[in-house]
Chain A
Amino acid sequence: MKKLGIGLYAVVTVALMIWGFYQAIYVAPDDALQGYIFRIIYYHVPSFAAAFTFFSVSFLGSIAFLSFRRSRPEWAQIADAWALAGAEVGVVFCSVGLTTGPLWGRRAWGIWWTWDARLTTTLVLWLIYVSYLLMRRFAAGPQVQTLAAVLGIFGALDVPIVYMANRWWRTQHPAPVFGGAEGSGMKDPAMLAAFGWNMLAWFAWGIFVLILRFNVERKHQQYAEEEAQEALAANI
Chain B
Amino acid sequence: MIGAVWTHLVKDLRIEWRSKEAINSMLFFALLVVVLFSLAFDPRGAFSREIAGGVLSVATMFASVSALNQAWAREIRHQVLDAQRMAPTAGSDLFLAKVLANFLFVTIVQIALAPVFLVMYNLQVQGKAWQLALVLPLATWALVANGTFFAALSIRSRNRELLLPLILFPIFMPALLAMVVATKDILTGESDPTLWIKLLAGYDIIFTTVSLLLFDVVFHAE
Interface residues contributed by chain A, number (CB under 8 Å) = 28
In the complex, the answer to whether A161 meets B156 with C-beta atoms within 8 Å is no
Counting CB contacts under 8 A, is B115 at the interface? no
A128→B171 contact, CB < 8 A: yes
Most buried by B among A115, A120, A131, A169: A131
Chain B 168-210 per-residue mask, 1 if CB under 8 angstroms from chain A, else 0 = 0111011001000000000000000001000000000011001
Q: How far is the CB of A116 from chain B (nearest CB, A)?
A: 11
Q: Verify if B217 is at the interface (C-beta below 8 Å from A).
A: yes
Complex contact A115–B167 (CB within 8 A)? no
| A139-B163, A151-B153, A153-B210 given; A146·B221 CB < 8 A | yes
A73 to chain B, nearest CB (A): 15
The interface residues of chain B, by DSSP majority, are classed as helix
Q: Give the complex CA separation of A134 and B169 in angstroms.
A: 14
Known: A115-B177, A131-B167, A138-B163. Contact between A157 and B158, CB under 8 A?
no
- Size of the B side of the interface (Cβ < 8 Å), in residues, is 26
Whether B171 and A154, one on each chain, are in contact in the complex, defined by CB atoms closer than 8 angstroms, is yes
Q: Is A141 an interface residue (CB 8 A)?
A: yes
**Counting CB contacts under 8 A, is B131 at the interface?**
no
- Closest A residue to B167 by CB, please name it: A131
A154 touches B210 (CB 8 A): yes
- The reply to whether A138 and B171 form a contact with Cβ atoms under 8 Å apart is no
Complex contacts, A155 vs chain B, CB 8 Å: 171
Which residues of chain A have C-beta atoms less than 8 A from B218's C-beta?
146-147, 150
Residues from chain B with Cβ under 8 Å of A150 in the complex: 153, 214, 217-218
Q: How far is the CA of A134 from the CA of B165 in the complex (A)?
A: 12
- Residues facing A in B61-75 (CB within 8 A) are none
In the complex, which residues of chain A have a beta carbon less than 8 angstroms from the beta carbon of B217?
66, 146, 150
Further pairs besides A138-B162, A147-B218: 12, Cβ < 8 Å: A115-B177, A131-B166, A135-B166, A139-B157, A141-B158, A146-B218, A147-B154, A147-B221, A150-B214, A154-B207, A158-B174, A161-B174
Where the two chains meet, the residues of B that have a C-beta atom closer than 8 Å to any C-beta of A are 150, 153-154, 156-159, 162-163, 166-167, 169-171, 173-174, 177, 195, 206-207, 210, 214, 217-218, 221-222
Q: What are 10 residue pairs bridging A and B, where the CB atoms are less than 8 Å apart in the complex? A: A124-B173, A127-B170, A127-B173, A135-B167, A139-B157, A141-B156, A150-B214, A151-B167, A154-B210, A158-B171
